[in-house]
Amino acid sequence: MQNQGGADIAVIDQPSRATAILRGLERRRSTQTSAPSRSGFALAAEKFLLGFLPPALLLVFVAARYWVGVHLGFDYRPLWEASRHLFHGASVYPAPHAAALQDEQQFVYPPLAAVLAAPLAVFPFGVAAALLAIVELVATVATLSALGVRDWRCYGVTFLWFPVIQNLLIGSITSLLALGLAVAWRYRNDRRVAAPVSAVVIATKVFLWPMLFWLAATRRWRTVAWALALALVGVAVSWAAIGFAGLSSYPRLLDELSRLEAGKSYSTVALGLLLGLSTGAARALAIAAGAAALVGVVLVGRRQREDQDADRRAFVLAIAAAFLFSPIVWTHYLALLVVPIAISRRTLTPLWFVPLAMWATTGQSDGQAWRVVLGIAVWSVVLAGAVRAPRQLAAIRTRAEQPIAALGPICR
């Protein structure tokens, strides 16, 4: 009887032991939940650095500029003035000599840029510059969205790039060009969209002409023909609006501008000058490097039928050719790098952080060796990385598909 009673007691004790074990597990789980975990700290850091900091930093920079009386739109003022000159049919170009280009406040775009910017010219300059900054902010968000980026952290890190922030502050049109490249890529197989968008991009900023080579190398012949024809018509009509003033001297204007400012930028020409080459030899170096990239565009583009990734790589090589050919590469040009990164890495990877290095050399290079090398290294590393097949790190890939709405103020 005692054994049977002991067995009964043991049977009765088993549920109580199980209950005690469950209670212990619950207490342990509660303790673990209440204590901050490493993943919790990482998520909080992400939200602060990539969610809160970008809009806060941009607001601080804008407020600081107004506080010191600098305001917005340093680069936009020549464009705004050129657009206003259009209303009177006057020439928008300065004389093609050094004395007229010293203060960097002259209009040197093709005239189509002044035509496209004319709607903002009806406003006072301060209002127009603020409106342009808003348009460019929206354009940057639209660029990432058009390229299928859904990872909110990519939006956050992009708005931490100094080239992007500078572009918004000084009123350059680089963010709008980036949107044009993004749309041309997304609708590359629809010439009704790709042709006119490519035409506007090339006719507005001539240094992006290698995009035509990408279209040709990937056998989009009709798109090439339409884009080239529309670009020429757009330039001709816009120049006719000012009575073709400055047309004959425009090549000399660009040559003089290059001679004065190439050494202060982050271009291949600046690197050649840094190496002790003459201006002519430095330009030859840039042409040779750009030509090599164009050869790569053609060779890679021809393999499109065998390699489904060839189209993307040829597109990135065309952007690389534009950078290599251009005698002047300003800091805000690097805002274009969002396009090659986004089409090759739609979630956060180390490549998204490379342009942050430009915070070390804000503004122009002024011919200083370390600045020139750093700037060239940034766009070279990004473009080389974008050409390669995407590789993602598991630690960074975690939580990659969170909704963009988590970004908060940036996307509003």
Q: How many CB atoms lie within 10 A of CB 102?
A: 9
Residue 348's nearest CA partner among 398, 389, 383, 386 is 398
CA gap 15, 31 in Å, rounded: 24
CA gap 59, 44 in Å, rounded: 21
Tokens for 398? 């975690």
Instruction: Provide the pLDDT for residue 93.
Output: 80
Tokens for 47? 């939200």
Instruction: Provide the pLDDT for residue 42.
Output: 80
CA gap 225, 215 in Å, rounded: 10
Using an 8 Å Cβ cutoff, are 408 and 55 in contact? yes
* Letter string b/e over residues 33-67, b meaning 16 or more CB atoms within 10 A of that residue's CB: eeeeeeeeeeeeebbeebbeebbeebeeebeebee
Instruction: Provide the pLDDT for residue 396.
Output: 46
Residue 120's nearest CA partner among 112, 128, 111, 110 is 128
Instruction: Provide the pLDDT for residue 31.
Output: 43
Q: Count CA within 13 A, CB hemisphere, residue 204.
A: 21
Helix axes 53-67, 162-170, angle to 10 degrees: 40
Residues ≥6 apart with Cβ < 8 Å to 285: 268, 269, 271, 272, 277
Using an 8 Å Cβ cutoff, are 213 and 298 in contact? yes
Using an 8 Å Cβ cutoff, are 140 and 175 in contact? yes
Using an 8 Å Cβ cutoff, are 155 and 407 in contact? yes
Task: Give percent helix, percent strand, percent coil of the chain, each to the nearest 5.
Answer: 75, 0, 25
Report the Cα 303 to chain-centroid distance in Å.
27
Instruction: Provide the pLDDT for residue 21.
Output: 53
CA gap 337, 164 in Å, rounded: 10
Q: Which residue reads 């190496």 in tokens? A: 275
Tokens for 220? 């989009």
Per-domain residue ranges for the chain?
42-411
The string of DSSP letters for 359-375 reads GGG-S--TT-HHHHHHH
CA gap 202, 206 in Å, rounded: 5
Using an 8 Å Cβ cutoff, are 331 and 375 in contact? yes
Angle at 341 between CA 375 and CA 355, to 5 degrees: 30
DSSP state, residue 326: -
Residue 92's nearest CA partner among 203, 206, 303, 249 is 249
Per-residue pLDDT 10s for the chain (412 aa) are 444 444 444 444 555 555 555 455 455 544 444 444 557 788 888 889 999 999 999 999 999 888 887 788 989 999 999 998 887 766 778 766 665 566 667 888 888 999 999 999 999 999 999 999 999 999 999 999 999 999 999 999 999 999 999 999 999 999 999 999 999 999 999 999 999 999 999 999 999 999 999 999 999 999 999 999 999 999 999 888 888 888 888 888 888 888 888 999 999 999 999 999 999 999 999 999 999 999 999 999 988 777 788 999 999 999 999 999 999 999 999 999 999 999 999 999 999 999 999 999 988 999 999 999 999 999 999 999 999 866 544 434 444 444 443 333 333 3
Using an 8 Å Cβ cutoff, are 163 and 175 in contact? no
Using an 8 Å Cβ cutoff, are 324 and 376 in contact? no
Phi and psi (nearest 5°) for 187? -110, 35
Residues ≥6 apart with Cβ < 8 Å to 391: 349
Tokens for 188? 């590359």
Instruction: Provide the pLDDT for residue 401.
Output: 43
Residue 400's nearest CA partner among 58, 50, 162 is 50
CA gap 359, 340 in Å, rounded: 20
